[in-house]
Amino acid sequence: MWQRVRRWALIALAFLAWAGIAPAQAGAPKPVIERAAKGDRCVEDTAFMRRNHMELLKHHRDETVHLGIRTRKYSLKGCIDCHASKETGSVAAAKDDFCVSCHAYAAVKIDCFDCHSTKPQGAAQATARLDGARKRLADATRALGMKDIVGVAR
């Protein structure tokens, strides 16, 4: 008796699912997910990132702003560096760009790019990073009293 009820219930559910999803597939185009330009894998599994990227970013942002912790792994800049579109050079400039494409599909507004740049760091900033590293090298060498290493590094 109960088995029969369960079977009918399952059939009814399957029908409802079919009836519900089929028109949606026709009406709502799936998001375009462009492959990341750099690297062959994300910092975590794709499935994990799809569900939890916002938590990682939120955690990281507080550490960065308040404590000055600037690790690259879960940073928004890290996302943008890899996922910026080849065409627009941005993650949110056009409707098919990485972040916007999914967020439009899920109807979730992104606030990140009200303040954050949607484009990866340019060559100028990369140079600045290098200059920073050079300066640190010089500082350390001076602290250790080893003038010759600075000469070699230059």
By the criterion CB under 8 A, which residues form the site for another protein?
Answer: 61-63, 65-72, 77, 80, 90, 92-93, 113-122, 125, 128-129, 131-137, 139-141, 143-144, 146, 149, 152-153
With respect to another protein, which residue has the nearer C-beta, 44 or 63? 63
Least spacing, CB of residue 51 vs another protein, in Å = 21
Least spacing, CB of residue 121 vs another protein, in Å = 4
With respect to another protein, which residue has the nearer C-beta, 23 or 145? 145
With respect to another protein, which residue has the nearer C-beta, 12 or 128? 128
Give the span between the Cα atoms of 12 and 14, in whole angstroms: 5
Least spacing, CB of residue 24 vs another protein, in Å = 32
Helix (H) or strand (E) holding 152: helix 147-153
Residues 136, 139, 142, 148, CA torsion sign: positive
